[in-house]
Amino acid sequence: MTARISARGLRLSLGGRRILDGIDLDFAPGRVHGILGPNGCGKTTLIRALSGALRPDAGEVRLDDAPIRALSPAGLARVMAVVWQGGQVSGDVTVRRLIGYGRYAYLPWWRLNPSGRDPAIEEAMAVTGVAHLSHRLVASLSGGERQRVWIAMALAQQPRVLLLDEPTTYLDIAHQLDVLELIRDLNQRSGLTVITVLHDLAQAARYCDRCVVMGEGRVRTDGVPAEALSAGQIERNFAVNAWVTTDPSAGHPVIVPRHRVSAAPPENRETEGAP
């Protein structure tokens, strides 16, 4: 079963600075939504607001037409899971134990046994390909392995919405693609609604159904990758001149950045064409 999440009029300030400035978004269920934009534009803050980790100064986040603030922490965790950037864990925690922490929303603390066998834990390890690592210490894993384990812990919550904050950060290109393929596979396999912050425009164009581009705490453009990541939109929103074409077999945009644009670009200039 999928879930619909929406934001209405979100405004949020931190340290006296307005970070989110009137965000209105609907995230269709069963799709992969990419959140993009320059550094400091509010991407991570938006994920934190959508997850309930930050309460907005104005506006609200709704899940299936109910405000998330009406849900208990355990109730919200049964619907929504979050994979934060750069998660840390104690050095003596095994993979199985960490993934088992994802079951906290379903069991009272005195029955929680992360090292025991639980069908949800077994399935989460299987679909993320980390079952063979179950007895390893999390601290001993590579970056790519560790990220899969964090995703497995989120899946152990059996969520309908998965939020990820820059899941490919600090990974080499091979592991970046592994993680993105996993996210896309999870979406297609179960209809999981995915909302993920990404920096790489080419990867967003390939793996996302929809791209939301932010700037200065606002939504600058919102649409399918071919619309939101056209050469003109990239120049306007990222100050980068890019060559954009279409992959003839997959149909998604292929983006090759060429150079930074120093001056404000003309509003209607497009730069599609050969590099």
Q: Where are the alpha helices (DSSP H) in 172-221?
A: 173-190, 201-207
> What three-state secondary structure class fits 183?
helix
**Where do the DSSP E strands lie in 120-272?**
161-165, 193-197, 210-215, 218-223, 240-246, 253-260
pLDDT tens per residue, range 33-56: 999 999 999 999 999 999 999 999
Quick count: other Cβ atoms within 10 Å of Cβ 267? 7
| 122 CB burial (10 A radius; 0-12, 13-18, 19+) | middle
The pTM of this model reads: 0.90
CB distance 12 to 45 below 8 Å: yes
Please report the domains of the chain, with CATH numbers, ordered by start residue. 1-79+160-219 (3.40.50.300), 89-158 (no CATH)
> Roughly what angle, to the nearest 10 degrees, separates helices 173-190 and 119-128?
130
What's the pLDDT score for residue 173? 94
> What three-state secondary structure class fits 238?
helix
Q: Please tell me the distance from the alpha carbon of residue 133 to that of residue 88, in angstroms, as a whole number.
A: 18
Quick count: other Cβ atoms within 10 Å of Cβ 68? 20
- Residue 161: left (phi > 0), alpha (psi -120 to 50), or beta? beta
**Cβ neighbours of residue 209 closer than 8 Å, sequence gap 6 or more:** 31, 32, 33, 224
User: Which mean pLDDT values do the consecutive 10-residue runs of the chain (275 residues) have?
Assistant: 84 95 96 96 97 96 92 93 86 91 78 69 94 94 93 95 94 94 94 96 97 97 96 96 92 92 53 41
What's the pLDDT score for residue 109? 60
Q: DSSP secondary-structure letter at 266?
A: P
Question: Which helix H or strand E contains 76, and what residues bound it?
Answer: helix 73-77
